[in-house]
Amino acid sequence: MVWPKDIGRVDVSEPASISTGIANRYATAIFSLAQEEKGLAALESDVDGLDAALKESLDLRNLISSPIYSREEQGAGITAIAAKMGLSQTMTNVLGLMASKRRLFVLPQLVTALRERISIEKGEVTAEVTSAKALTKTQSAKLAKTLSAQAGKDVKIIATVDESLIGGLVVKVGSKMIDTSIAAKLKALQNSMKEAR
């Protein structure tokens, strides 16, 4: 048996780049349709709903990624979820199409790609904020105002909760990350104590 010379090398970035490419093609089509139909507000609502559902529902994550479901089962499942969530007809149709083509696994990347396009269209920046406890509306508004002043653009906050942070925040805006969490401070303290020995 003859083996290719570079058999030992495996490009692990390939599946991720393929998923991103597929997601970007769908995102471009969905975004164009939403613009034509003057439905950007509905699209943004769909994206927010799907993002929350993906974070909260293990069943949904299993449905879109598990090979045990047939195309028909994925299609029926995602259509029922879309109806229950009240997603727009355009998004529901696209999700059905993705299921029929076995492309639902790119849904997380699709949500990210659509969010980026919506932010650019609205002239705003998205900030991913992780906190130990859920932010109140007042805290969220105050943080958005502070970040807007620094960014020079409107900032939309996408908040998630991670109790392992103990307290404080991790804020990611574009390629910049600010970590004021107690967990990070404890880790830094632990590292400096190791160096002091």
Q: CATH number for the domain including 72?
A: 1.10.520.20
Residues 110 and 137 grouped into a single domain:
no
pLDDT value of residue 176: 83
Q: What percentage of the chain carries pLDDT values higher than 90?
A: 50
Residues 60 and 148 grouped into a single domain:
no
Does any domain span residue 71?
A: yes
Does any domain span residue 6?
A: no
pLDDT value of residue 33: 92
Q: How would residue 15 be classed by pLDDT, with cut points 50, 70 and 90?
A: low
Give the domain extent around 97: 14-122
Task: Please tell me the total count of domains within the chain.
Answer: 2
List Cβ neighbours of 83 (8 Å cut-off, separation of 6 or more): 92
Residues 73 and 156 grouped into a single domain:
no
User: pTM, whole model, 2 decimals?
Assistant: 0.69
Does any domain span residue 163?
A: yes
Decide which of 184 and 109 is more confident: 109
Residue 9 has pLDDT above 80, yes or no: no
Q: DSSP for the chain? A: -PPPTTTT---THHHHHHHHHHHHHHHHHHHHHHHHTT-HHHHHHHHHHHHHHHHH-HHHHHHHH-TTS-HHHHHHHHHHHHHHHT--HHHHHHHHHHHHTT-GGGHHHHHHHHHHHHHHHHTEEEEEEEESSPPPHHHHHHHHHHHHHHHTSEEEEEEEE-GGG-SSEEEEETTEEEE--HHHHHHHHHHHHHHH-
pLDDT value of residue 197: 65
Residues 81 and 158 grouped into a single domain:
no
> What φ, ψ does residue 158 adopt, rounded to 5°?
-110, 105
Residue 7 has pLDDT above 60, yes or no: no
Residues 111 and 193 grouped into a single domain:
no
CB 104 within 8 A of CB 64: yes
List Cβ neighbours of 125 (8 Å cut-off, separation of 6 or more): 119, 147, 151, 153, 154, 155, 156, 173, 174
Q: How would residue 10 be classed by pLDDT, with cut points 50, 70 and 90?
A: very low
Residues 110 and 150 grouped into a single domain:
no
Six token digits for residue 157 = 């906050």
Does any domain span residue 44?
A: yes
Residue 97 has pLDDT above 50, yes or no: yes
Residues 103 and 134 grouped into a single domain:
no
Residues 32 and 104 grouped into a single domain:
yes
Does any domain span residue 7?
A: no
Residue 13 has pLDDT above 50, yes or no: no
Does any domain span residue 185?
A: yes
Q: How would residue 2 be classed by pLDDT, with cut points 50, 70 and 90?
A: very low
| Residues 98-128 pLDDT 10s | 999 999 999 999 999 999 899 889 888 888 8
Domain endpoint, select from 90, 122, 154: 122
Does any domain span residue 140?
A: yes
Residues 31 and 74 grouped into a single domain:
yes
Residues 92 and 55 grouped into a single domain:
yes
Residues 21 and 94 grouped into a single domain:
yes
38-59: average pLDDT = 94
Domain endpoint, select from 67, 87, 122: 122
Domain endpoint, select from 122, 153, 170: 122
158-172: average pLDDT = 87
Residues 34 and 97 grouped into a single domain:
yes
Average pLDDT across the chain, whole number: 86
Does any domain span residue 1?
A: no
Decide which of 193 and 71 is more confident: 71
pLDDT value of residue 109: 94
